[in-house]
Amino acid sequence: MSLQPALSTWGKYPAPSAVLALLKPVTWFPPMWAYACGAVSVGGANGRWFEVSLGVLLAGPLLCGTSQAINDWFDRHVDAINEPDRVIPSGRMPGRWGLWISFIGSLLSLAVAALLGPWVFFAALLGLLLAWGYSMPPFRFKLNGWIGNGAVGFSYETLPWITAACASLGALAPGPVMLVALLYGIGAHGIMTINDFKAIEGDKQMGVATLPVQLGTRRAAFVTGGVMLAAQAGVVAVLIVLGSVISASIVSILIGLQMLALPRFLKDPVKNAIWYSAVGVGLYVSGMMVSAMALNNLSP
């Protein structure tokens, strides 16, 4: 690849609004929330507000924002079919600036992670490797919905939770904390699948085998809801074993509310995916913090 076309794009700077659109602030919440839950679950937020706040910013605007830039760059051809008004196919992000921002975000993320210690640095490195592998050929984990959504669920929920817990303790987090973080990451596979219902036609044309493409919309919706509910049921079981009956009851109520919302999603998954994302995911992440507080109360 010739460097001349790439270098010439440096003279055409993207507008700040285009950069913000590329980084997609609306996607930052899950990893930021998971990092906060990880800190809370081991009492790491007590008296360490600066470190926790910096970790939350690392998980969201830096790492998650960078992953969005990476994904949009390598998905620009798919987006030209599914969502041509996105920042790269629409031309608002000139030349190869989408790629440059991905590189800059990766380096900046590692620099900030290094300030927070080895646990955070190596977790950030792993998260970036998964982000690049998710979107970049020849890996393109996203080409298979089972693998790609699993990688994202782990990166968005399990990894930041465990990272915050281990960084707060300066050692491996207790087994129950690790298990709950893993379960919420597994459940996030379903959350990631919700986003796939809006791009079925373009994904079919470009060979992206999301679950709606592989299974059809209704079966994929059943899998989506089932994975989310099963993972949370596992969390309830962990809390009961640990003796936190009240917290287990609260999470069970949140699961019940999701079950009440699920039939509307199953009736028309394409039409109601955004609605279920708002309702179901909101209840899901509420249970995450309830569980984190329960784990903190149970710690010695």
Give 208's DSSP letter: -
**pLDDT value of position 268:** 96
Residues 159, 121 contacting (CB under 8 angstroms) = no
In a domain, 8, yes or no: no
**pLDDT value of position 109:** 97
CA-CA distance, 224 to 171, in Å (whole number)? Answer: 34
In a domain, 143, yes or no: yes
In a domain, 4, yes or no: no
Q: Closest Cα to residue 143, out of 151, 152, 134? A: 134
**pLDDT value of position 62:** 97
pLDDT digits (tens, 9 = 90+) for 272-285: 999 999 999 999 99
What DSSP assignment string belongs to 226-257? Answer: HHHHHHHHHHHHHHHHTT-HHHHHHHHHHHHH
Q: Under the phi-then-psi rule, with left for phi > 0, alpha for psi from -120 to 50, and beta for the rest, what region is 178?
A: alpha
Predicted confidence band of residue 78 (pLDDT cuts 50, 70, 90): confident
Any idea which of 8-22, 67-81, 138-152 has the lowest mean pLDDT? 8-22
Predicted confidence band of residue 3 (pLDDT cuts 50, 70, 90): very low
In a domain, 49, yes or no: yes
CA-CA distance, 3 to 99, in Å (whole number)? Answer: 13
pLDDT digits (tens, 9 = 90+) for 200-222: 988 898 889 999 999 999 999 99
Give 195's DSSP letter: G
**pLDDT value of position 28:** 95
Residue 144: what are its φ and ψ, rounded to 5°?
Answer: -125, 120
In a domain, 7, yes or no: no
Average pLDDT over residues 254-270: 97
**pLDDT value of position 2:** 39
Tell whether the model's pLDDT for residue 8 goes beyond 90. no
| Number of domains making up the chain | 1
CA-CA distance, 153 to 260, in Å (whole number)? Answer: 24
Full domain range(s) for residue 244: 14-298
In a domain, 23, yes or no: yes
Residue entry with tokens 């609004």: 17
**pLDDT value of position 300:** 58
Tell whether the model's pLDDT for residue 180 goes beyond 60. yes
In a domain, 9, yes or no: no
Tell whether the model's pLDDT for residue 199 goes beyond 90. no
Q: Closest Cα to residue 55, out of 166, 131, 129? A: 166
Q: Under the phi-then-psi rule, with left for phi > 0, alpha for psi from -120 to 50, and beta for the rest, what region is 71?
A: alpha
Structure tokens at 232: 């949370």
**pLDDT value of position 194:** 96
Does residue 160 have a cis peptide bond before it, meaning omega lies within 30 degrees of 0?
A: no
Q: Is 242 exposed, middle or buried (0-12, 13-18, 19+ CB in 10 A)?
A: middle
- For the chain, percent of residues with pLDDT exceeding 90: 84
Q: Under the phi-then-psi rule, with left for phi > 0, alpha for psi from -120 to 50, and beta for the rest, what region is 207?
A: left
**pLDDT value of position 273:** 95
Tell whether the model's pLDDT for residue 189 goes beyond 60. yes
Tell whether the model's pLDDT for residue 152 goes beyond 80. yes
- For the chain, percent of residues with pLDDT exceeding 70: 95
**pLDDT value of position 6:** 41
Q: pTM for this one? A: 0.91
In a domain, 3, yes or no: no
H-run or E-run covering 36:
helix 29-41
SS3 137: coil
Q: Closest Cα to residue 287, out of 259, 260, 248? A: 248
**pLDDT value of position 9:** 46
Average pLDDT over residues 76-98: 90
As a whole number, the mean pLDDT across the chain is: 92
